Each structure stands twice: as structure tokens, then as C-alpha cells.
Amino acid sequence: MADRYSFSLTTFSPSGKLVQIEYALNAVNQGVTALGIKATNGIVLATEKKSSSPLIDPPSLSKISLITPDIGMVYAGMGPDYRVLVDKARKVSHTGYKRIYNEYPPTRILVQDVARVVQEATQSGGVRPYGVSLLVAGWDEGIEPEAADIKNDSDSPAKPAGKTGGILKGGPSLYQVDPSGSYYPWKATAIGKHATSAKTFLEKRYTEGLELEDAIHIALLTLKETIEGEMNGDTIEIGIVGPPADHLLGYEGVEGAQGPRFRKLTKEQIEDYLTNL
Amino acid sequence: MGSPFDINGGACVAMVGKDCVAIACDLRLGMQALTISNNFPKIFNYAPSTYLGLTGLATDVNTVSDLFRYKVNMYRLREERHISPSDPGQPGQLIVPFICGFDSIGCIDFAKDFIVSGTASDQLFGTCEGLWEPDLGPEDLFETISQALLSAVDRDALSGWGAQVYIIEKDKVTQRLLKGRQD
């Protein structure tokens, strides 16, 4: 009887559940752990690159992706579903935003667009929900949190949107998107197999006013708690949103040009962090 | 039957000043040579310092201004911020004066000085070329754009019958009505 509601994606069970979506979450919870930590001056995304065979060539595996120059993404769950979502996120950031407004979407708008894609897969015929949870990290131009506080004091009419996530609010933001299409803003979180223990660890380690370097350190410590294999530059993947990386621009001497804030750390950079752990 | 651009008449002009911009339009609505109304503004406000002037077929002026009102309102609800014509950078940073024009198929004209449109555009090009100079302050810019518009519409049978002028500064917008010739 209980199974009567497990096949049709769009049929609620009497208790109000959509079991296919819960199964998608189960797929996520079997996936390799990924985590994200927001700092005052950036965000770190980290995950384990687990290879099933020693013959796999690690540098060609990539789990953290750039979506726009200032937004990056990591996943837990099914790799192929993730790649589809990365393609769709990149596409929608242009068709739905950059080609209209001539600038890249703010993080919250991009997250809403991706969440819409994910939600549509829970209410359409002939499809299954995406078997991934995503962590989306991005930096928005606008009034940064500290500046907003100062501005509030002076009783100015241009009131920043404050905690609502209004886009006047600039600076770093970190979101999780689930197979249901729901999304949550986090200071720090983890998804995947060891998400619960990683989150407990992060709760102990996270402090307000964290710097990006500290966040990378905590991210590696958290991964260390849950990692199954060895920890080195080949088995760890780190993406950061930090200060504009003008050296990645590919050219110089153009006034006003700003490098991408999102970049992935190289194997050597990761190993440097690991030796200082 | 004339071109749809010339049926109702009307003129619009925008100018860049020093830390300010100005946009002005005439108020005429006509049917060929017959004037129907002298209260048909062609400038529409979409955000605190974002204005759009539309000239051409009046029914399309209404349609396009309404469509933009819808789009801009949707943007504001979605993004919880006002729209602006170009990337403003970070609030608190320098916000620069910006004007641009579009032809009827959407080709952008980024101008450092002025933009003209409407049935008096030939005349406006002349008056603007003659009167505009760089780095005009708000008061001087008002005088310049007003004289440019009023002189131009006096030489166009399909434009005139009063004018509306907006002077947009960093934190202030001034709207002025010019009576103009009513003949």
C-alpha cells in the first residue's frame, strides 16, 4: 500500500509527502560530502574528489564549477545531473540576465533561476527530480554588510535592504539548493554523506567575522573529519570566491576591467594549505 | 498616408552636464496637421533617476511606456532594487551621468553629449550642436536644453505646444513646465 504513491512523481502520499523527491534526497545523502563556508571577505567551497580506481587521472575530474565570473557551484549526489544543472545555470545566467541587463546576475537571482529549473523537474511529466543538492557561492556588488551598518546609523533615505537578502546588499552569499527546488542561505553548511557530522563540526568551528584564509583552514579541517581516503592536492578540490583575480583576466591595461572573483585552487595551492594544517 | 513616425508629431532631447543630465520633450499630440492635445508628455519615470523619452506614433508611445512600466515593476519586485540605465557600480561610489538613445529597431547610440528624437530631430541636432557645451551645471544645462528644444520645435509644424524639462542630479530631480508658443 505504501508503495502506491512511490512511482508517480506528482502524486502526494496521504501524509503529504512526495516520495520521489525524498528518494532524490536519499541519492544526495549517499553522495560525496561537499561544504561551503562564508567569510567576511569571501567564500570557500570544498569537496573530496573520490575516484573509484587508481587508474583515474585526477586532474581531469572536476566537481566545482564556475557559473559566472563571481559565482561558483559544487554538488553532492549524481554527477551527470550536476553537469546538466551547471550547463543550465550558465545558460540562464546569460539568456535570462546578461543579455537583457548587460551584467551578470546577482547570486540570489542565479540561485532562484537554478531552483526554478530544479523545481520544474518535480512537477513535470516524464522527468525525474534532479539527484543533486548544490552549494552556490557568489559575490555581489552593492553595499557590503559593514558599510550597510554605517549607512543605517546616519538615517539615510537609501535604506539598504538589510537581512532580507535584498540585492542592494552586496558582499558574499552562500546558498544550498535541494532536489525539491527549495533554497537556503547559509553562513556555513555541508551536503552529502557526512553532512550531519560536518555541520556539527562547522557549528563548533564557525565564528562571526571569519576571514577567507581561516575559512579555507576550517573547510580542510572539516573535510579531514569525514574524508575516507588520503588528503592531498589530487583528492581535494577547493573553489574560492575572493578578491578580483585580475591575473585570470587574460589581458591587462583595460581600465575598469575586473578579474573573476571565483577561482579554483591549484593542486599546489591546496597542498600548501594542507601542510599548514 | 505619411510615415507612422510623423502622424502624431513630437520631439524629445536629452543632454549630459557636469554631475547631472537633462531630458526634455514637447507636449503636442496631433493628427497630421490638426493638434488634438497640448498635454501629451513623452517622458516617463521608471526609477529615482531613470527617465525614458519616447517619440513617434502615439499609440506605440503608450504601448511601449506601459510595457516598460510592467517590466521595470517586475524587475523591482524580483530584485528588491531599482533599475538603472547602466551598471552603477557600488552605491556610494561615483555615479556618473549617462544618456543613450535607441532607434526604432533597437540600435543603441551611446552619446557623450546629447540625444535627439522625434519629428523635430533635424532641428534639434542643429540647436544642440550650436548650444551644448561640456560640463554645464544643472542651471546652465536647464537653460541650454530648454532653448534648444523651444527653438527646434518652433521650426517644426508637428512639435511644440509647450514643453516639459527634467534636470536629474545625483540626489535631486527638478521638473519644469515651459509654456512655449501655443500656435
Q: Would you say B21 and B99 are in contact if contact means Cβ atoms under 8 Å apart?
A: yes
User: What's the pTM?
Assistant: 0.85
- Measure the CA–CA gap between A131 and A21, rounded to whole angstroms: 9
pLDDT of residue A177: 98
Which residues in chain A have their CB less than 8 angstroms from residue B86's CB? 102
Is the ipTM beyond the 0.90 threshold?
A: no
pLDDT in tens, A18-68: 888 999 999 999 999 999 999 999 999 999 998 778 888 877 889 999 999
pLDDT of residue A165: 47
pLDDT in tens, A125-163: 889 999 999 999 999 987 776 655 544 444 444 444 444
A27-to-A32, A50, A178, B76 alpha-carbon distances in Å = 10, 16, 11, 37
> Nearest residue of B to residue A141 by CA position?
B90
- Closest chain A C-alpha to B66 CA, distance in angstroms: 18
Q: What are the helix (H) ranges across chain A?
A: 19-29, 79-93, 99-101, 107-120, 145-153, 195-205, 212-226, 267-275
pLDDT of residue A163: 42
Selecting from A109, A142, A165 the residue whose C-beta is nearest the C-beta of B91 gives A142
Q: What is the mean pLDDT of residues A225-242?
A: 91
pLDDT of residue A52: 76
pLDDT of residue A5: 59
> Nearest residue of B to residue A160 by CA position?
B81
A192-to-A32, A74, A224, A265 alpha-carbon distances in Å = 5, 11, 15, 22
With an 8 Å Cβ cutoff, are B79 and A106 in contact? Answer: yes
With an 8 Å Cβ cutoff, are B80 and A142 in contact? Answer: no
Cell numbers that stand for A32 in this block:
560525496
Q: In which band, very low, low, confident or very high, does the pLDDT at A69 lie, cut at 50, 70 and 90? A: very high
Q: In which band, very low, low, confident or very high, does the pLDDT at A103 lie, cut at 50, 70 and 90? A: very high
Which residues in chain A have their CB less than 8 angstroms from residue B81's CB? 161, 166-168
pLDDT of residue A58: 79
With an 8 Å Cβ cutoff, are A161 and B81 in contact? Answer: yes
With an 8 Å Cβ cutoff, are A103 and B87 in contact? Answer: yes
Instruction: Confirm or reject contact between A150 and chain B (CB < 8 A).
Output: no
